[in-house]
């Protein structure tokens, strides 16, 4: 439990730092995008703000993860993360639409970037800073096995790639193909729309208690099969609760088992599953005599 607390505290710190880093980088890119007239730089700034929103709901989930349940919220506050993700996804759709509109206008009326060198320097610096932050986040996520933070790290690496797409677009535009800057804006807008789609889909499924992770379910079934006292699996229900997984498991045991023996079997099974499934917060195991 102490290791888990330390892990979530470390994850919360890096996610909080990520929010402010991406927010700052996004504002800088938008300001310089307006100053230089680069659509790609402006779009990448919007993308950085969208990733700041993703980091924010990851931070929110980690912040509330260890908060004690109350009388009004007896199951804890884990779904706050999913709610903020849903709100962020709606904002991201609006941001992507705005980028597409700006890019379309720039293609219809192409204009050369006024200060391409400054735009290139800003994109290079923000891309490298974003990559460094993503690698730090991934290191902590892997160390403490925090799923939501690992997803955010992958998204941040995607943000770095969008910065380099924007960099390439500005460079080609500077070399003579003026409309490439607007095309780069379109590409970055697709990145933002991808993030919004994933956030919208995942948060909606979690809020509706949907769960579709066949690999995880198959892994639990394999663990059950290693226990010879278990005759079969009757039911397995899992759902996401913020960064955690909670579930109910019903297994079939021999009909001549005593209550004491059944208790020992399900306790051993529960311990075995918890040990091998990261992020499993709660698992209720019930033995049913055949």
Q: Kindly compute the dihedral angle of the four CA atoms of residues 102, 103, 108, 111, in this order, to the nearest 10 degrees.
A: 90
What per-residue confidence (pLDDT) applies to 92? 78
**Pair (105, 221) in one structural domain:** no
What per-residue confidence (pLDDT) applies to 31? 92
Residue-range definition of the domain harbouring residue 41: 2-207
**Pair (20, 42) in one structural domain:** yes
Q: What is the CA angle 204-210-216, rounded to 5?
A: 120
**Pair (122, 221) in one structural domain:** no
Residue pair 251/234 in contact by the 8 Å Cβ criterion? yes
Q: How far apart are CA 122 and CA 118, in angstroms?
A: 6
**Pair (179, 246) in one structural domain:** no
Residue pair 41/33 in contact by the 8 Å Cβ criterion? yes
Cβ-Cβ contacts under 8 Å for 198 (sequence gap 6 or more): none
Give the CATH number, domain containing residue 133. 1.20.1510.10
At residue 283, φ and ψ (nearest 5 deg) are -140, 120
**Pair (37, 97) in one structural domain:** yes
**Number of structural domains found in the chain:** 2
What per-residue confidence (pLDDT) applies to 3? 53
**Pair (93, 76) in one structural domain:** yes
**Pair (55, 126) in one structural domain:** yes
**Pair (234, 194) in one structural domain:** no
What per-residue confidence (pLDDT) applies to 164? 87
**Pair (54, 167) in one structural domain:** yes
Give the CATH number, domain containing residue 220. 3.30.70.1350
Tokens of 266: 């399900």
Q: Which helix (H) or strand (E) holds 134?
A: helix 116-144
DSSP labels, 9-42: HHHHHHHHHHHHHHHHHHHHHHHHHHHHT-HHHH
Give per-10-residue mean pLDDT for the chain (290 aa). Answer: 63 85 91 89 86 81 74 75 75 84 86 86 88 84 70 72 87 87 88 79 78 84 88 87 80 86 88 83 85
Residue keyed to tokens 């079997």: 265
Cβ-Cβ contacts under 8 Å for 212 (sequence gap 6 or more): 205
What per-residue confidence (pLDDT) applies to 32? 92
What per-residue confidence (pLDDT) applies to 4? 56
Q: Considering 207, 232, 253, which residue would you say is the last residue of a domain?
A: 207
**Pair (97, 231) in one structural domain:** no
Q: Considering 191, 207, 223, which residue would you say is the last residue of a domain?
A: 207
Q: Considering 207, 241, 265, which residue would you say is the last residue of a domain?
A: 207
**Pair (266, 186) in one structural domain:** no
């Amino acid at each position: 439990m102490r290791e888990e607390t330390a892990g979530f505290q470390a994850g919360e710190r890096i996610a909080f730092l990520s929010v402010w880093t991406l927010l700052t980088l996004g504002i800088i890119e938008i300001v310089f995008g307006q100053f230089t007239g680069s659509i790609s730089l402006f779009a990448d700034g919007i993308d950085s703000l969208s990733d700041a929103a993703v980091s924010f709901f990851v931070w929110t989930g980690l912040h509330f993860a260890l908060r004690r349940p109350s009388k009004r919220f007896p199951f804890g506050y884990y779904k706050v993360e999913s709610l903020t993700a849903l709100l962020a996804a709606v904002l991201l759709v609006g941001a992507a639409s705005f980028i597409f509109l700006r890019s379309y206008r720039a293609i219809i009326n192409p204009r050369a970037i006024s200060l391409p060198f400054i735009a290139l320097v800003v994109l290079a610096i923000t891309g490298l800073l974003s990559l460094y932050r993503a690698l730090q986040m991934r290191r902590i996520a892997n160390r403490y096995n925090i799923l939501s933070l690992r997803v955010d790290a992958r998204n941040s690496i995607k943000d770095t790639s969008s910065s380099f797409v924007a960099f390439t677009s500005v460079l080609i535009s500077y070399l003579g193909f003026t409309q490439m800057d607007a095309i780069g804006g379109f590409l970055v807008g697709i990145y933002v729309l991808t993030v919004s789609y994933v956030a919208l889909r995942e948060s909606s499924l979690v809020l509706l208690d949907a769960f579709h992770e066949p690999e995880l379910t198959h892994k639990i079934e394999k663990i059950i099969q290693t226990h010879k006292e278990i005759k079969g699996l009757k039911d397995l229900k899992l759902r996401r609760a913020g960064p955690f997984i909670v579930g109910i498991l019903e297994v079939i045991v021999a009909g001549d088992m005593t209550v004491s023996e059944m208790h020992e079997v399900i306790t051993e099974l529960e311990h075995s599953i918890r040990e091998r499934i990261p992020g499993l917060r709660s698992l209720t195991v019930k033995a049913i005599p055949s």
